Amino acid sequence: MAERVFMKGCEAIAEAGVRAGCRFFAGYPITPQNEIPEYFARRMPEVGGVFVQGESEVASVNMLYGAAAAGARAMSSSSSCGISLYSEGVSYCASARLPVVYVNVQRGGPGIGAIQPAQQDYLQATKASGNGGFQMIVLAPATVQECVDMVYEGFELAARDNNPVLILTDGVIGTMMEPVVLPPMKSDEELAQLKEKYGVTKRACIGHPLGQQAKCFPGSAGTGQELVNKEAEKLYATWDKDVRVEKFLVDDAEIIFAAYGISARISKAIVKQLRAEGIKAGMIRPITVNPFPYDAFRDLDFNQVKGILDVEMSIPAQMRWDIDFAVQGRCQINECRRSGGQLLTNDQVLEGARQLIKEVL
């Protein structure tokens, strides 16, 4: 049986990156994700990797571009307003089809906002991570174990698609401690094989013998920007197979909670409490927030489901847009929200649920 270790979320994220083969990390300090770069600063010399504390977020994300173009498994992290400064560099990575992984440990906003946790970057992550309309797979963990698993897999998804991957977590999960099972460390041999598998060796901008030309990742791939966009569109259409969602006690539910990340953990507890009272409650938790699990909502029996409670730490609500798009007005949708670093409590979510129940049942 695999050994379980007790780790803080940010440190577990960093260790998962190292074990997935990350050998270049660049970042800039910002609360509440500082333990990610701190951990990499200690860990990278042990595995022959490189850690750079950039002079800014802009510098860090462009170092990420350069390292990935040279064929390294590269990663970065920041929080909310810092991620906003990443947007141009991530857009460059998407245009150049570079496989990078980065993490947003969300804090309150807008602007500099608060250093406490929030979920106010959902629309940025899923709809507008940078100019040009590019898309990414965005994974939203609800536990420290899922942080580990998603970072580890994120490198494979990025390499498979030659595209950035974002792990969208928050300051609660980033700073809490939970037992985790760490994945195996990828050996140098495995990493070399993966470079061959994904064609990195042929494309990387590294030294080649005289007269041999490498097919480097350019700033805009292909023969024209429109062609780049058309090829990217074909990629996005394949992501249906990557949609992930947790459906908890949905089959006979009359009330559905919709939540992701830390809000889903609170919602699940309230679902259990309501079930103990004889109320048929369930929950839909998007695990990939992009691509979003629209079918999980569209396929609900709206003769049975009377209402949905959108639970998120954002005012205005942001995931509500995707829920509305899926439901198309077929049942009432209420919201239970906090923002600006104010945490949801079980009592607040229960109160929101009871109000919805009063209105629709």
pLDDT tens profile 152-188: 999 999 999 999 999 999 999 999 999 999 999 999 9
Check the CA dihedral 65-67-195-244 and report its sign: negative
Residue 254 scores a pLDDT above 90: yes
Q: What angle do CA 239, 166, 46 make, to 5 degrees?
A: 125
pLDDT for res 214: 55
Give the predicted TM-score (pTM) of the model.
0.95
Residue 204 scores a pLDDT above 90: no
In degrees to the nearest 10, what's the CA dihedral of 91, 92, 96, 99? -70
322-355 residues labelled b (16+ CB within 10 A) or e (exposed) = bbeebbeeebebbbbbbbbbbbbeeebbbebbee
pLDDT for res 215: 57
211 or 152, which is more confident: 152
Distance from C-alpha of 235 to C-alpha of 233, rounded to nearest angstrom: 5
CB 71 within 8 A of CB 77: no
- In the chain, which ranges are E strands? 4-8, 24-27, 50-53, 74-78, 100-108, 114-117, 137-139, 165-170, 177-181, 245-248, 255-258, 281-286, 288-290, 307-312, 332-337
Residue 343 scores a pLDDT above 60: yes
Q: Which domains are seen in the chain, by residue range?
A: 4-240 (3.40.50.970), 246-360 (3.40.50.920)
